[in-house]
Structure 1
Amino acid sequence: MEAAKVFFRSNLRFLRNRKKYSQEHLAQQLGYTRSKYTALENGQTENPSLADLIRISEFFKIPLDNLLKQDLSQWSEYDLRKMETGAKEYINGKNLRVLSITVTPDNRENMEYVPVKAKAGYVAGHADPEFLATLPKFSLPNLPVGATYRMFPTTGDSMLPVPEGSDVVARYVQDWKTLKPDSLCIVILKGEQDFVFKQVTLQKDGTVLLRSLNKHYAPYTVRVDEVLEIWQYVKHQTDTLPEPETDLQEIRQLIVEMKKQINKL
């Protein structure tokens, strides 16, 4: 069988020239020495590391699959810009979206828990097996098989009535287009020191609308290329007991019931 052609080296040179960067400037942007970058572009590094491939892919906003397998010099500027701003293939996960996991000795996936002290490190280490290996691991009964789960702690009151300090069990979402509007999700964002727990809606203009359950917090949008991972809410656990209903809550419930009765008339 004929080996698949890899365009990484020529694409790297093309993308650098497209931005009008010198090798030295691009090396600085990527955090490399000039000699390391030159070796990558000239093909002297026969098997670039996965970490280097991911770094270059994210820097240029080019999905890794395209960076390796497509001759980008043959693409139109329109198609290149479309890809950089959140192409359909990126959203639906058809291009390579790397998810690192850990497994038990009998080859079953672990569920990792991200403690509060590790939240800031998760954004940088989410794709690093060595970082994931440091996280606590456990299992929960009655979770549907065939999916990858992780548990994330929440802080603040933006998602009330989910109590502050709850631990959210969430399922990894590969194809973001499967998400219904206002799906509850943990969202991992580039450049952030924390992840967010929000209602998520993918919009047609290539942005993601993030909305809080607590109406005191205004919704906001991010570009799809700013999103690293999405984990859909499955359940949460908390040590906070629900407060007894107040008179105001009882009155509100009576009003709701009255409206239902009026609508039936």
Structure 2
Amino acid sequence: MKMLSKNIRFLRNSRNLTQTDLADQLGVQRTMISAYEDGRSEPKLLALNRISEIFSISLDELLHHDIQELGRRVLQPSQTKVLTIAVDAHDNEQITMVGQKASAGYLNGFADQEYMESLPHIKLPNLSSHLTYRAFEIAGDSMLPLVSGTLIIGSYLEHLRDIKSGKTYILVTITEGVVYKRVFNYLEENGKLFLVSDNEHYKPYEIKGEDVLEIWEAKAFISTDFPNPKDKAAPVTNEDLSKMILDLKADIIQMKKK
């Protein structure tokens, strides 16, 4: 099975595991892992099941899907993801709104049609009809200048590989619940996402890719808090930081001349 050997090698490298590391987890000799990856031997069913558990991947995807070329097939490899949506009387999709108090229940009910229908729904103009949207109410001040109570309108992303580093996303996760962060994608390197707050007082942190249940790319926001010139400015970008350093060097040179 050419695809199997290629996938085992790719998944092992993506987790920064040596052949010995993987062999220890499977309870086999290192030479057996080398044989798997070279296509000289095939894992028995028990070993296949263990490999699928280690890398959180279905047997079908492991055996038949080119992960390196096409990326992971679904967010939750153990099951096909079916997105539950709400429609109006004319069968048009509506934007389901998940408030702060509803966030905890959303983790258990996002796949339940009855639960999703119980949540409030809104409509917004000028959004692409080809995308599915959901609105999440953020809590706290970790993403200033957007304040607590702001509604983030996100479009649904099916694959983790579609996350673009530096953009903001609503992530529905097993470990952190529903979070809105600026995300940096390191899945190919270590299988993790790096989550950063726009408020510098909050430390960045990592989560595993397999802990992500849903991804919603931020497209718009609704807030009752009007911009104020005295409010905190937007977060400093790398370009801003570089300019500040250059300006500081220029000031120092000028001071020395005087």
The answer to whether the superposition gives a TM-score over 0.5 is: yes
Letter in 2 for 1:93: V
Letter in 2 for 1:242: P
Give 1:226's aligned residue.
211
Q: 3-state SS of the aligned residue for 1:116?
A: coil
Please list, as runs of the form range in 1=range in 2, the aligned pairs for 1:41-56 lying within 5 A after superposition: none
Query: Distance in 2 between the 1:213 and 1:106 partners?
Result: 40
Give 1:93's aligned residue.
74
Give 1:172's aligned residue.
156
Give 1:109's aligned residue.
93
Letter in 2 for 1:83: F
Matching residue within 20, 32, 48 for 1:76: 48
Does structure 1 residue 199 correspond to structure 2 residue 171? Answer: no
Query: Distance in 1 between the 2:135 and 2:103 partners?
Result: 11
CA deviation after TM superposition for structure 1 residue 137, in Å: 1.1
CA deviation vs aligned residue, 1:3-55 (integer Å, no higher than 9, x gap): xxxxxxxxxxxxxxxxxxxxxxxxxxxxxxxxxxxxxxxxxxxxxxxxxxxxx
Query: Distance in 1 between the 2:53 and 2:126 partners?
Result: 44
| CA contact 2:160–2:209 (8 Å) conserved in 1 | no
Give 1:33's aligned residue.
none
| CA contact 1:85–1:223 (8 Å) conserved in 2 | no
Query: Distance in 2 between the 1:119 and 1:180 partners?
Result: 24
The alignment yields a C-alpha RMSD, in angstroms, of 3.2
Identical columns (%): 29
> Structure 1 91/259 Cα, relative in aligned 2: closer, same or farther at 3 Å?
farther
Q: 3-state SS of the aligned residue for 2:108?
A: helix
Q: 3-state SS of the aligned residue for 2:216?
A: strand
Give 1:130's aligned residue.
114
TM-score, structure 2 as length reference: 0.62
Query: Distance in 1 between the 2:49 and 2:120 partners?
Result: 46
| Number of matched pairs | 185
TM-score, structure 1 as length reference: 0.61
Query: Distance in 2 between the 1:219 and 1:191 partners?
Result: 15
Does structure 1 residue 236 correspond to structure 2 residue 221? Answer: yes
Query: Distance in 2 between the 1:162 and 1:92 partners?
Result: 33
CA deviation after TM superposition for structure 1 residue 259, in Å: 3.8
| CA contact 1:154–1:165 (8 Å) conserved in 2 | yes
Q: 3-state SS of the aligned residue for 2:102?
A: helix
> Structure 1 191/181 Cα, relative in aligned 2: closer, same or farther at 3 Å?
closer
Q: 3-state SS of the aligned residue for 1:186?
A: strand
| CA contact 1:170–1:232 (8 Å) conserved in 2 | yes
Does structure 1 residue 152 correspond to structure 2 residue 133? Answer: no
> Structure 1 202/82 Cα, relative in aligned 2: closer, same or farther at 3 Å?
farther
Matching residue within 97, 118, 123 for 2:102: 118
Q: 3-state SS of the aligned residue for 1:195?
A: strand
| CA contact 1:91–1:224 (8 Å) conserved in 2 | no
Please list, as runs of the form range in 1=range in 2, the aligned pairs for 1:179-190 lying within 5 A after superposition: 179-190=163-174
Moved over 6 A (4+): none
Query: Distance in 1 between the 2:143 and 2:91 partners?
Result: 35
Query: Distance in 1 between the 2:105 and 2:215 partners?
Result: 17
Query: Distance in 1 between the 2:183 and 2:112 partners?
Result: 25
> Structure 1 75/118 Cα, relative in aligned 2: closer, same or farther at 3 Å?
same
Q: 3-state SS of the aligned residue for 2:55?
A: helix
Range with bigger deviation, 77-86 or 112-121: 77-86
Give 2:146's aligned residue.
162
> Structure 1 221/91 Cα, relative in aligned 2: closer, same or farther at 3 Å?
farther
- Unmatched tracts of structure 1, length 5 or more: 1-71
